Amino acid sequence: MSSSELTEDELAAESDIVSTPQLAAQWTRVRGRLQNEVGEVEYRTWLRQMTLAGLDGDEVTVLLPTRFLRDWVRGRYGDRLNALWQAENSAIRRVDIRVGNSAAADSRDDESPIPLPDAPLVSLAAVRPEERAEPRPELTAALDARFTFDAFVVGKPNEFAYACARRVAEQPASQGFNPLFLYGGVGLGKTHLMHGIAWDLVTRSAARPHPVTVAYMSAEKFMYRFIAAIRSQSTMEFKEQLRSVDVLMIDDLQFLIGKDNTQEEFFHTFNALVDAGKQIVVSADKSPSDLSGLEDRLRTRLGCGMVADLHATTFELRISILEAKAQRSGVPVPAKVMEFLAHKITSNVRELEGALNRLIAHANLFGRPVTLEATQEVLHDILKAHDRRVTIEEIQRKVAEHYNIRLTDMSSARRARAVARPRQVAMYLAKQLTSRSLPEIGRKFGNRDHTTVMHAVSRIGELMERDAGFAEDVELLRRMLES
Ligand code: ADP
Ligand code: MG
């Protein structure tokens, strides 16, 4: 069956497009939940002027009237808005918070009460007038100005992927690098690298008689565009448009799993472009061979060029990223705070960045310096969510193993240095890696007093500062426990 013979039902099943009234209802619930969570005062202060501008692919856009409010809401509530939206509608991946005025916001003066949940909140405001005005939409999604190669911090876990991306930007469609397949977990820099390639190509070729044309879009957007083209009977035009670019980038390809018709269309586009000597860049959350559910022939072709993965970040990389981002912000962030964040938020760069941004917004707003205390306070909720689920028992086991002592010595009364020091290390790590209080930790170590734990924590801290070899040892243990 050719793709253009999809029935309406198939189209609906494949697209899952959310209609505007549904979206409005979802938005109402998202606001309601947020209002409940943050309370009346906070809601009134920061959030009530939010309006929904619309849905584009997997991204909803929310507007706020000023830059200040936007930054504040982004920093303080961005993650929450994302999570609440995703809970309402799993197709939504991102909430874009921007400055803008929708008709609804304009007509509501500041003295009006908090909009009731059933107030008319949706207005397809002039966020992207160009897209609505033009019958033939831009093929590429907007590139994020922050996602350049310069802003990408390179370390062991991502240096290979970075090198491949640079190479493709230097010499698109060169042997062995086409397609470039980037994969890795959420928030590790796939999208950043793709935008980096696009920026690099576009800016360097801008002055040439034939600037390089790049189309970047999420796989989801690809699908929406494809389906829209079928609906408006303009598939030929869509295909031509796709095949006219020099570089095609499709982000988050895993989205096409189970979307057979779109996959097939992508496969044909892919082949046509590669045959014409054009560059393809694809990202996904898994390697081609692990993307089960993609058609075999597509998987095979995807693995034929260069496959590069972005590994989970290391402590060192997280520190470098924090340093780079703090420096850009112009707000001084003490090394201690960065170390603390790099230890606590290990999941991915997006969350790390989110935490730092919140700290910076807070510092700017209240004109107070960033300190460790302020960090713990401002990031209370994030830190709680990231609290390791390492148990004290695990710590004791690992440490005993590492120093080759018996597990029972963790709680025994023996005071020989060969036993006491590892015990102190375990107490120190228990304090760092769990949210247990000092007395609770003491109890787990043979009912010792909390002052003993306190002493152990400061003693180990001192030793680590004095003895680099010892510090490395403890760090190693920490990392083993964290992974
Ligand atoms: P992914 O697409 O893999 O989910 P993104 O590319 O969207 O992840 O990255 C998430 C966020 O983290 C972005 O704001 C990005 O700029 C930032 N980021 C990720 N890796 C790095 C890095 N190595 N250096 C600087 N910023 C990074
Ligand atoms: Mg991404």
Structure tokens at 170: 């230097």
Ligand 1 pocket, Cβ-based, cut-off 6 angstroms: 146-147, 151-153, 158, 184, 186-192, 321, 349-350, 353
| Residue tagged 């008689």 (tokens) | 209
pLDDT (0 to 100) of residue 56: 81
pLDDT on residue 44: 73
pLDDT in tens, 106-130: 333 333 333 323 322 222 222 333 3
CB within 8 Å of 407: residues ≥ 6 apart: 396, 397, 400
What 3-state DSSP class applies to 294?
A: strand
Confirm if 267 and 160 have CB atoms less than 8 A apart.
Answer: no
What is the distance of C-alpha 384 from the center of its chain? 19
Of 345, 320, 346, the C-alpha closest to 335 is 320
Q: How far is the CA of 186 from the centre of ligand 2 (A)?
A: 7
> Which regions of 81-154 does DSSP assign to beta strands (E)?
94-99
For residue 328, which ligand has an atom nearest its CA? 1
pLDDT of residue 135: 47
Which residues of the chain fall below pLDDT 70?
Answer: 1-5, 8, 10-19, 41, 45, 102-137, 387-388, 483
Nearest to 255 by CA among 303, 298, 223: 223
Determine the pLDDT at residue 47.
86
Question: What pLDDT, in 10s, does the model give residues 40-73?
Answer: 767 776 788 888 888 887 888 899 887 778 888 8
191 Cα–ligand 2 center, Å:
4
Unique residue bearing structure tokens 């598939």: 235
pLDDT of residue 65: 82
| Beta strand pairing call for 51-56 and 59-64 | antiparallel
Tell me which residue has its CA closest to atom 18 in ligand 1: 189
Quickly count: other Cβ atoms within 10 Å of residue 46's Cβ. Answer: 16
Whole-number Cα distances in Å, 325 to 114, 147, 250, 322: 36, 12, 27, 5
Rounded Cα distance between 218 and 284, Å, is: 10
- Nearest ligand 1 atom to the CA of 155 is 23
Which ligand 1 atom sits closest to the C-alpha of 158? 23
Q: What is the pLDDT of residue 16?
A: 53
pLDDT at 306: 97
CA of 256 to the centre of ligand 2 (A): 15
Cα gap 409→402, rounded to integer Å: 13
Tokens of 325: 């981002």
